[in-house]
Amino acid sequence: MIKDQHHGLKIGTVLIMMLSLASTFGASSNNLHPLILIPGNGGNQLEAKLTSEYKACNWFCEKWYPLVKKKDGWFRLWFDSTILLAPFTECFADRMKLHYDTHRDDYYNTPGVHTRVPQFGSIYSLLYLNPRLKYVTEYMALLVGSLQQLGYSDGETLFGAPYDFRYGLASKGHPSQVGSKFLEDLKSLIEKASTSNGGKPVILLSHSLGGLFVLQLLNRNSPSWRKKFVKHFVALAAPWGGAMDEMLTYASGNTLGVPLVDPLLVRNEQRSCESNLWLLPNPKVYGNNTPLVITQNRSYSAYDMVDFLKDIGYPEGVYPYETRILPLIENIVAPEVPMTCIIGTGVRTVESLFYKNSDFDEQPEVLYGDGDGTVNKVSLLALQSLWKDEKNQSLEVIKIDGVTHTSILKDKVALGEIVGEINRINSHIQLRFSNLFVNNKVESDK
């Protein structure tokens, strides 16, 4: 069962209406299903600690970065505002970099760099990427505030599942120690949240890359486990088929809109991230007939990813891509858990890259298409086409015009849709609040 709804409502009071209707339709703190937030790539804080084994890339990094450490040696790795300055950018990239070992068949940190995610289980590290810079690093704070107005409370009915977003997952038979450990921790958190709330199954609310992790978790556990512990899966801006933006990241580096940063300074670090390899465009979604990258010598479709990785000067990415990633993404299985996808559309999104002289060190000319500014529309809607014949999969897709990949967590209309969906799941009301609001408005305008 697949439903598709399109919402372009631009009324600033919609969120207030959603929250006031919540009490009317019975989603009180007494009957709330526990809810777990799973962030996207770069969507939570990350800390690091250095040991004597670590060898800094230069003298400056050894002596001056980081500027601030805790007494026990831990420091904020992501997000630290000093990375906006070129000398510190290099230090940051060196410590964020991952390495792939063909003998281990797995990824690992730079020797001497230990990393951790603060306060797993809590929403703390999801609110702001740097609590000292709340205005510029706000992530899920507004979303959490909206959920708290529904009656959700941190550590009681509301939980956070931050993770080391540099790591991803691999196909069956290949180790992925960090990513697999996260799935184990998330599974345990789901079970604990359910148990502490009288056995109520859990609502999973993900953003971006978090949706891919959740889908893998569901499909790696039994149908009986899913039925017992998961009530509903709500995915915001999930890149089900990857994103064209990742090809720019691999070819020329990607500052993700952060000012002053030279993309070439972070390119090697970005290429090293296991999760970025997972997010390259899926051939089954993007197809063979669409040129994604064009140079004077040739063009590359999603089926030409091996040649692309070689030609941009990253041949070491070929083996893990072929053995770990391709088998992982070739069959996206329906989990038979009720799902709602909420996405933004109508935003200029990278669709094709044009390089002069095949020089990938230069930023390309860009052809834009539809999407949410980061993920292409074809990827956001991939499950509709891939699962169109699935009889036991409930899937609803809500499209919101003009909402970007990150503003979906802040935009009033988007928050209204999210809150309305969570309240509907809790109260078993089948009518969507936004529809009620539109109908009321139509009546009042007559």
Residues belonging to the active site? 208, 372, 405
Contact between 213 and 244 (Cβ < 8 Å): no
Q: Which spans in 337-432 are helix H? A: 377-380, 382-386, 412-427
With 0-12 / 13-18 / 19 or more C-beta atoms within 10 angstroms meaning exposed / middle / buried, residue 25 is middle
Ramachandran angles phi, psi of 202, nearest 5°: -95, 145
Is 257 in a helix, a strand, or coil?
A: coil
HSE value, Cβ hemisphere, 13 Å, CA-based, for 5: 15
Which residue is listed with tokens 């990253």? 314
Nearest to residue 33, comparing CAs of 161, 147, 187?
A: 147
Residue spans of beta strands (DSSP E) within 252-323: 293-294, 299-300
Following DSSP, what letter does each residue of 155-179 receive, concatenated? Answer: TTTEEE----TT-----TTS--HHH
Strands 2-7 and 395-401: parallel
Which residue is listed with tokens 């609310």? 205
Q: How far apart are CA 34 and CA 192, in angstroms?
A: 10
Q: Does the bond joining 437 to the residue before it have cis omega, within 30 degrees of 0?
A: no
Q: How far apart are CA 115 and CA 19, in angstroms?
A: 39
Q: How far apart are CA 50 and CA 92, in angstroms?
A: 13
Residue spans of beta strands (DSSP E) within 163-312: 202-207, 230-236, 293-294, 299-300
For residues 393-405, one letter each, b for 16 or more C-beta atoms within 10 angstroms of the residue's C-beta and e for the rest, the string is bbbbbbbbebbbb
CA 33 to chain centre: 23
Q: How far apart are CA 269 and CA 350, in angstroms?
A: 21
**Tokens standing for 98?**
């991952």
Q: How far apart are CA 202 and CA 38, in angstroms?
A: 13
Task: Note the maximum CA span of the chain.
Answer: 74
User: Which amino acid type is present at position 248?
Assistant: L
